[in-house]
Amino acid sequence: MIKLLAIGDVMGRPGRQALVKGLDRAREELNPDFVVMNGENVAGGFGITKKIFEELIGPVGIDCITTGNHWMDKKDIYEFRDHPKIVLPANMSNVDEPTRGLRLLETKGGVRVAVMNLIGKVFMKGDNSSPFDMAERMLDLVPSYCKVRVLDIHAEATSEKQALGQFLAGRVSAVYGTHSHVPTADERIFKEYTGFVTDLGMTGPYDSVIGIDATSAIRRMRTGDKKNFEPAKNDLNFYAMLFEINEQTGACHALHRLRFPIKDS
């Protein structure tokens, strides 16, 4: 059995602080074999820089970073988007390539892990192609010996994320949602195989509007003014899901929602 830790959207510098502290605790208490996180908001709330990417896969020890609609907000992503530890939403209109949304990696113990990333169509900007069809195309590329398969579906609509979880039931070990920055309490296992949750929730400042300073978010909604539209700082929390997966069959046997409030915030 391997333990795969999936961490939701990490929001800016406060999110990175919560990530480091929460990960220390998770490693101490749970000893995960593989850690995947969503990094689309990790640089000031919008995108990911090369410097932060290298820090995350280096000293912080993240095994793979998925992304979302903000993947291209920092332009240096074009220098490292082919790196084996970063995944883009394969069906997003400005990606549209199954190999960019799929990475074949392994745990320190040598267990193969396929990480996949898709984006929703419902209530999402852009003319993204079907995540269902792209999921099929990506699964065709995963070798049969790679049983542990995990998918980050980055989407707004709860219905679309659940539909994708049901669609992939029995074929993917873990399907979880990101993007809403709001954790859901509906974790379950489909067909005694696929561990699922509609949204992991954000790792970052919860005294906010989905991670953004509340005063600025309210002002923007009322007037359109984007002034100080940046990550909030207080009430840091680390949110993640721990999936226990049988590496012989790929079946998820248990999943545990983690919420670690970060002190000194």
Residue 70 annotated as catalytic: yes
**H-type alpha helices, 31-69:** 50-57
In the numeric block, which tokens belong to residue 261?
């409030």
Is residue 152 near Fe ion by the rule CB under 5 A? no
Whether residue 81 contacts residue 100, with contact meaning beta carbons closer than 8 Å, is answered with: yes
- Sheet containing strand 174-178, edge to edge, reads 102-106, 112-119, 148-154, 174-178, 194-197, 188-190
Nearer to Fe ion (CB atom), residue 68 or residue 183: 68
Smallest distance, Å, CB 211 to Fe ion? Answer: 8
Touching Fe ion, residues 169-208 (CB under 5 A): 179
Q: Determine whether 86 is exposed, middle or buried from the number of CB atoms within 10 Å of its CB (0-12, 13-18, 19+).
A: buried
Q: Return phi, psi of residue 247, to 5°.
A: -70, -15
Nearer to Fe ion (CB atom), residue 69 or residue 216: 69
Q: Which of 17, 66, 69, 198 binds Fe ion (CB under 5 A)?
A: 69
Q: Which of 41, 66, 107, 173 binds Fe ion (CB under 5 A)?
A: 41
Q: Which stretch binds Fe ion (CB under 5 A): 6-14, 94-102, 140-148, 233-241?
A: 6-14
Nearer to Fe ion (CB atom), residue 142 or residue 157: 157
Catalytic center residues:
70
- Site residues for Fe ion per CB under 5 A: 9, 41, 68-69, 179
